[in-house]
Amino acid sequence: MSELLEKVEPIAAAMRKEVLRDLEKRIGPSLDKPWSELSQEVAGVAGALEQSNAWRVQDEPGAIYLKLGCLLLSVYRTLEPLFGDHQELLDVMKSVIDKVAFRGGMEAFLLDRFGISPDAPAEAWDQLRARFLERGRERYGSSWIQEPGIRDERRYFVNVRKCGFSDFLLDNGARELLYLLCATDYAWGDALEEYGIRIERPTTLSEGSDACRFQFFKMSE
């Protein structure tokens, strides 16, 4: 395990505890195996994934997101044999991913990610254009490569050429989990409409394109 992975372990431990506690509450009573046994299996699979993928880590954000990816994939692989209905498991995983992504609530997410506050809705468009790339680079690190595109008074485009989650999950044969992670964009995208901003994402890395194209449009004056 790399030094960076070790450094962010306290953050990852808190994240694992929260995710596993939520899963136990949601599905633990309906499974045949004791949850204590399952959680140990999850930890073992996650640890093995971290070791085999440690080479991906280049900075602290990358270490945090690798640990998150390993946790989600380990939960998925551990629980998959216990679910007769594959879609039911994907629905469970979607709820887990949404809870992790928006654990502070949508308002907190928009403020942290874009600098958008409900107390200053008229500033949302300017905040988005000023903060999207800057905060994206701070938040995700070098495992993500984002390039600016069109920028004018009513359009703001960014192309994500490299995504740490996409690289990790596709290389580990878990495209279905990547789709669930990509779906979180629609949740905050819907929330942006309250601020007069519409988002389109016509292509994604998860579907084989050369970029995830985030295209923002100002809807009102």
Whole-model pTM: value is: 0.92
Report domain extents, the chain. 3-101, 106-218
Mean pLDDT, the chain, integer: 93
Which pLDDT band holds residue 5 (cuts at 50, 70, 90)? confident
- What percentage of residues in the chain have a pLDDT greater than 70? 99
Instruction: Kindly give the pairing relationship between strand 197-200 and strand 145-151.
Output: unpaired
pLDDT above 60 for 1: no
Q: E strand or H helix at 149, and its extent?
A: strand 145-151
pLDDT above 90 for 156: yes
What mean pLDDT is predicted for residues 103-116? 95
Query: Between 30 and 211, whose confidence is greater?
Result: 211
Which pLDDT band holds residue 4 (cuts at 50, 70, 90)? confident
pLDDT above 70 for 206: yes
Q: E strand or H helix at 148, and its extent?
A: strand 145-151
**Per-residue model confidence (pLDDT) at position 158:** 97
What mean pLDDT is predicted for residues 52-78? 95
- What percentage of residues in the chain have a pLDDT greater than 90? 81
**Per-residue model confidence (pLDDT) at position 221:** 65
- Give the list of residues 6+ apart from residue 86 with CB closer than 8 angstroms, or none: 80
